[in-house]
Chain A
Amino acid sequence: MLDPASIQPAVVSIPAAIPSPEFAWAGLILLLPVLAAVLSTICGARGVKGKLPGAITSIALIASFVTTLMLFLRLPDDAPRTVHLFDWVAFAWSGTAPNTSFLAPFALYVDSLTLLWMLFVTGLGSLISIYATEYMEADVGKGYARFFASVAFFLFAMGALVMGGNLIVLYLGWEGVGLASYLLIGYFYTKPSAVAAAKKAFIMNRIGDLGLALGGFLIWTNYGTVEYDALFKAISSGAAPAANASAWGAWAIPYCLMLGAFGKSAQIPLFVWLPDAMEGPTPVSALIHAATMVTAGVYLIARMFPLFSLDPNALLVVACVGCLTAFVAATIGMAQYDIKRVMAYSTVSQLGYMFLGLGVGTTFGAVYHVFTHAFFKALLFLCCGAIMHGMAGQLDLRKLSGVRTVKGFGIISWTFFIGCLCLAGFPFTAGFFSKDTIIAQAFASGNPTFAWLGWVALFTAFLTAYYTFRVWFRVCAGPQKYEAGDEVHSHDDGAHDAHGHDDHGQAHGHAHGHAHGHAHGHAHSHAAAHAHSHDWHPHGPRWAINGVLLVICIGALLAAVPSYNGELQHKPNWVETMVAHSSAASGIPSHEHAAHGHEAGAAAHHALSFTGIEDVHTATSVVASAVGVLGICVALWFHLLNRTAADKLRAALLSNGLTRWLPLLLENKWYVDEIYHAVFRLPSWFLGHVLHFLDKQLIDGLLVNGGARVPVELGRLFQPLYNGALQGYAATMAGGIALIAAWVFWIWMHGG
């Protein structure tokens, strides 16, 4: 257990927010997407056949981004601002206790953390919306309007989540993004697997939502408010929460919020929904399930950091869960063949890093990693999507090779390469800097537990580099060879085919492993490719996709710039400044020392002292670079230079009874879905049937109907000539009334 003394919760003062009605126009950031959602829905209802919904949504989102930018430029940096839009859940009563009202106005709380998040949310949102206008064009007139309405609604909900001035507005956004995610994962609604994935995502998130709600309740009972400003005021005034106000003390608050964060950000134990969420269209995977929505959990903890910093043990839990998730997800990512799934597990893993960063106390590292990850992971997903789009839905990395040399795929392949470098943490890329900040803090904190987590994080960095370049070397490099996916038919048929596949996969897949399902898939794809080979060619994307890829690629590269400033000029980079000026900076234990690590402590022994480098940051950078490059080299060997070696290794592991478990465990995703099914789903489902039976047979049958028979039988006894139903009921009533009269009399006698 962590020694609480090792992290001293600093008494922090967060400047009181300034009510700023003059910034009411910031509400446009939320309003514009709502308008776009409504208009797109109307387009859908009117059956508009064209790209109008896409255009509306893209324009609205760009406008929303511009508004955010204006807010960013205009807002003075002195203190957080609150903007009261309208009263939402708000009422008062007369009571004796301190709480005589519940106030959750629809208000905005804008500080630099809010702005940082909103900039990349609206920025990437607009770019991905433009990308989707081309990507989704096969669905024009069908699901096109529904798609863009959902995307626009998502941007509204995400905005409410990030900009909301209290936990209730955050909750609105929280559930709102869950709904958008549900609608978009289930976009291909005729596919049972997509419907199931959407449902799973929503329900898993609801478990987290319950945690968030309970955390909100607890904050209200302890601090008497759910508004950030008042809450931070209460915390930084050092006033203890209303003493023993609750059977659950204030200590439970971070644990409840944590559950919410883990649900939304797909951490252990609630991570299994995210990989399944890849059933949605790829732009959605990029926007919602990589760049923005899944970082909401990180936002929540960063926003509530003053609360978390009161409890070192809670932060320790966050760090451990994050680190474990990073490791587990990376191992699964190594063994997946579907490139989108690799990226999905990679997202889970990278989110784990962010939570590790929060847990070890570098909110800057966590937020910076959110920021850089948003760019390069969106880029990676969009590249996967572009390949899939051009290859008729092909996502299996064994059936794609040398795509780089196919005509029209050049931009995709090279932007993909840059995204991979960032994800792999190749030296001097954005991902490298942000990940290192987190790992270095783990080592620099001087806490032995954190140092262990640092080692795991370093090993995970090696795995990350390996699985990332496994994809790139397989898909983009090597000899040109590809098979069409199953969307070579018209779009709808494609969806139906996919449905057929999944049925088989589910029916036979789990017990017998992948082989069966894939055999089937193979046969089918061959047949399909064969039948249509004369009229199918891979087609490269046009300007909307290529342009967006280039812009986001540049963004991913530029995301490293703040760190160049920081590392080379020893100034805090601007992301760090923004975090430092927000509530997320507060109470970071000796943050200034650790982040710049030149003064105290760092010169002493740290876990990486064996490198001979005194500064823990430099040491981490060196080790992490080495690890990353090593991972890339291993991938290079197994997946480009000697591809058969990978298959041989897998076969060798499988054939050996002692090592068989390893590939099976990884390929079956640690059997987490199966465990959930056996431990939660099946028993509850069974219980449902049992209760249904009891409800009908015991409560209704025996007690109610049986009870009703008693007076009926009595009535028959007394009136043997009349045994029609009506008389029975009359007797029932008479008997009942008599009984009641007797009872009342009895009470009267005894009670008075």
Chain B
Amino acid sequence: MLSTLTALLLILPLLAAGGIALGPARTSKWIATIASLAVFAVALAFSWGFPGWTDGSIAPSDLGLSVMPSLGINLTLGADSVGVMLILLTAFLMPLAVIGSFTAVVDRQKEYYAWFMLLEAAMIGVFLARDAIVFYTAYEFTLVPMFFLIAIYGGAERRPASIKFFLYTFLGSVLTLAGVIYIAAQHALAHDGAWTFDLAALATFASSELSNTQQYWVFVLLMIGFAVKVPFFPVHTWLPLAHDQAPTAGSVILAGTLLKLGTYGVYRIALPTAPVGGVELDQFIAVLCIIGIVHAALICWVQTDAKKLVAYSSVSHLGFCMLGLFALNSVGATGSVLYMINHGLSTGALFLCIGMIYERYHTKDMAQLGGLFKVMPVWSFFMVFFTLASLGLPGLNGFIGEFLCLLGCFSAEPNSVAGYPGLLGPWYALVAGSGLVLAAMYLLIMLGKLVWGPLKEPHHDAHATTQSGSSLPADLSPREIGILVPLALVCLAIGVYPKPMMEAIAPSVEKTLAAYPKLVDRYVQDGSLVAPRVDMGQGVARAQPVGSE
């Protein structure tokens, strides 16, 4: 049963893409809507029957199809609790993004919706992959639909934006692939030519049999690709451009799910596979997180374009997410996973809100818009609501993830009581915490310009019309309200009762971080796990494996 549902999760969107491509253009949005809703229903059924909520195990564990036996490549599918949550997030956002495109996209609808369905299949494929090659294939395949969505349906600078998006993330993930192949090759060398790409097997092998220096470099390779996707300072510059140019629904999916592929990759692959690298680079990465948080927040402050502001805020927010992960303790990593989901919800919703404005006024420039509460009270309500969710107001979804990320970072000290020892501490949390103040600042500046203040509308748009020529009401239409209400309800529900999610995430986190406490202790004692070579990059002396044998 579970296997069938798993297969359906992948096959349904692919079938829908085919159906859209073959059917007439006027049916494509309806096929996409029905299919994405069906996928959501399947995802719900899947999570209902999912047995791994309490123990962090992967299910289904028996679904596999051997693709290249000689190289050990298998089409194995399954997810643990974190993966299931991200699948649910994807399947939840997709119908909203599709329905949100009804009036925004009128030309070349067939391709548009077909690409969306392919994108959904690819993203779910990433979260379902148990094999590194499957993972990588799906991971890379997400680029193609997104590339076309930006390049065809984007703004004025869509060409450079889409190309930069594609190349940047592609090149990054090539490095990740190199890392994976390196591990697999080492595995084959160590085991008489027995190749495997099973993620769990690779992780077990790499973390126990590779030398510390090997692990270190493997971690670097894996991290680069994921870091670009996150996007992590300083490899984040593709994101503002891509968001700025992408169509609204593209931005929703980009922020909502695609970025999570990066953090999920770090969580699922980089951290458990090469724990030595994770420990060795922990403080370095945390510092980059913090720089990213503050850097992007200050940039948000001076944005004049609402969409770019939200795009940069993603860079800042995902800094929190990564910081929580690299606290290397239960509190921080649980917070980080919660953050992935909550950021997807609230930022996705913000992009939808801004898209609704763009459809009406054909601008996102905050200098030309203002005081929209007067003409769009319903829209303003949602805008304020999701902004508050985004700035982490307790009682809404953003708070718990953010709070736990910071708490994890704060308590991640060598002799911490937070369940695991860690390498960060209060000073990291203090500086990162300034991001909370800055977030309030830039988000409220955005509200102060768009929602409050004297009414300001662009002159040439007395009667807002869509590209299709059909006019939208001044305030939100029932369709638009119907998109935002579920999002708001979910944000509220998670904010009020996050306990089931936290309890489901915690066991998975424990498995991911199982190797860390000992390594951190050793790192604290010795000052480094791969000294002296990596330290400051001095000398070329061979590193001594420090006891991972």
Contacts and interface: CB of A to CB of B under 8 A. Distances in A.
13 contacts: A202-B444, A203-B437, A217-B426, A221-B411, A244-B415, A246-B411, A496-B454, A684-B298, A685-B302, A695-B237, A704-B168, A740-B174, A751-B214
A732 interface: yes
A238 interface: no
B393 interface: yes
Given A94-B510, A213-B403, A217-B411, 20 more contacts: A91-B334, A91-B499, A97-B419, A98-B417, A102-B404, A168-B403, A186-B452, A190-B452, A195-B448, A198-B444, A198-B448, A199-B448, A203-B437, A218-B426, A221-B413, A247-B426, A732-B167, A744-B182, A744-B221, A751-B214
B440 A203 contact: yes
A737 interface: yes
Given A97-B418, A102-B331, A221-B410, A246 B425 contact: yes
Interface in A205-237: 206-207, 209-210, 213-214, 217-218, 220-221, 224
A747 interface: yes
A510 interface: no
A95 B437 contact: no
Interface in B32-74: none
Interface string B451-478: 1111100000000000000000000000
A260 to B, nearest CB: 12
A176 interface: yes
A210 B418 contact: no
Contacts of B388: 179
Contacts of B178: 740-741, 743-744
Interface residues of B, number: 88
Contact of B374 (A190, A214, A691): A190
B426 A214 contact: yes
Given A202-B440, A214-B429, A190 B171 contact: no
Nearest to A182: B444
Interface in B168-189: 168, 170-171, 174-175, 178, 181-182
A89 B502 contact: yes
B440 A688 contact: no
Does more than half of chain B's interface fall in helix, strand or loop, or is it mixed?
Answer: helix
A704 B171 CA distance: 12
Contacts of B496: 88
A748 B395 CA distance: 51
Given A89-B400, A89-B498, A732-B167, A699 B393 contact: no
A626 interface: no
Interface in A645-695: 684-685, 687-689, 691-692, 695
B213 A695 contact: no
B411 A220 contact: yes
Interface of B: 163-164, 167-168, 170-171, 174-175, 178, 181-182, 211, 213-214, 217, 221, 234, 237-238, 241, 295, 298-303, 330-331, 334, 371, 373-374, 377-378, 381, 388, 393-395, 400, 403-404, 406-407, 410-411, 413, 415-420, 425-427, 429-430, 433-434, 436-437, 440-441, 444-445, 448, 451-455, 496-499, 502-503, 505-507, 509-510, 517, 540, 542-543
A93 interface: yes
Contacts of B378: 45
Contact of B417 (A93, A99, A168): A99
Contacts of A691: 295, 298-299
B237 A700 contact: yes
A688 B299 contact: yes
A220 B499 CA distance: 19
A190 B300 CA distance: 24
Interface in A83-115: 86-100, 102
A752 B214 contact: yes
A234 to B, nearest CB: 13
Contacts of B510: 93-94
A94 B427 CA distance: 26
A97 to B, nearest CB: 5
Contacts of B437: 203, 206-207, 210
A214 B433 contact: yes
A410 interface: no
B330 A246 contact: no
B182 A748 contact: yes
Contacts of A744: 178, 181-182, 221
Contacts of A733: 167, 170-171, 174
B302 A93 contact: no
**Max count, chain A CB within 10 A of own CB: residue among B238, B298, B496:** B298
Contacts of A196: 448
B426 A176 contact: no
A175 interface: yes
A206 B394 CA distance: 13
A441 to B, nearest CB: 34
Given A196-B448, A699-B234, A704-B237, A750 B540 contact: yes
